[in-house]
Amino acid sequence: MNAPAPVAVEDVQATSEPTTAEQPNSLIIDTNVRSGQSIVHPQGDVTIIGRVASGAEIIAGGSVHVYGALQGRVIAGISGLPSARIFCREAKAELLCIGGVYVTAEEMNPLVEGRSLEARLDGEELKFRVLD
């Protein structure tokens, strides 16, 4: 009778930390956001592929990108990120806010209404840049 061949055993060190998948820092919504809906993502950026209706709300820890009409409210940079920005294809927003500094529809420059827009924080003031 032959003895079984020896089997090599590798040393495997046990870890006390469980392996976890990295959390994504962006959220993509592939549809319109309807009136009354609220999207909250405090960990990072939010991208909406569609429109944000009047009465809808987007709240993000980072930047917000809207590839459609923005008629609702957007609050960006709630994580304290001063470089957060808001981008939209058609600006008709009720409220734009970055880092606690905000502008309402009544205060917004009429020259940017309906235009493709970038909003960013510059000190204690929101600055707008028309993209089209």
- Which has the higher per-residue pLDDT, 45 or 11? 45
- Which has the higher per-residue pLDDT, 8 or 66? 66
What's the whole-number mean pLDDT along residues 38-58? 97
Give the model confidence (pLDDT) of 54-71 as tens digits. Answer: 999 999 999 999 999 999
The whole-number pLDDT of residue 23 equals 54
Give the model confidence (pLDDT) of 69-127 as tens digits. Answer: 999 999 999 999 889 999 999 999 999 999 999 999 999 989 899 999 999 999 899 99
Bridge partners of residue 94, in order along the sequence? none
User: What residues make up the domain containing 75?
Assistant: 26-130
Asked if residue 19 is part of any domain, the answer here is no
CA dist., res. 25 & res. 45, Å (int): 7
Asked if residue 116 is part of any domain, the answer here is yes
Asked if residue 100 is part of any domain, the answer here is yes
Asked if residue 48 is part of any domain, the answer here is yes
pTM attached to this predicted model: 0.80
The whole-number pLDDT of residue 12 equals 41
The whole-number pLDDT of residue 81 equals 87
Asked if residue 71 is part of any domain, the answer here is yes
Give the neighbor-by-neighbor strand order of the sheet with 45-48: 26-29, 45-48, 64-70, 85-91, 117-122, 125-130
pLDDT at 1 over 70: no
Q: Domain containing 112 — which CATH number?
A: 2.160.20.70
Asked if residue 5 is part of any domain, the answer here is no
Bridge partners of residue 39, in order along the sequence? 58
Confidence at 5, pLDDT banded by 50, 70, 90: low
pLDDT at 16 over 60: no
Asked if residue 15 is part of any domain, the answer here is no
Asked if residue 44 is part of any domain, the answer here is yes
Instruction: Specify the number of domains making up the chain.
Output: 1
What's the whole-number mean pLDDT along residues 28-57? 97
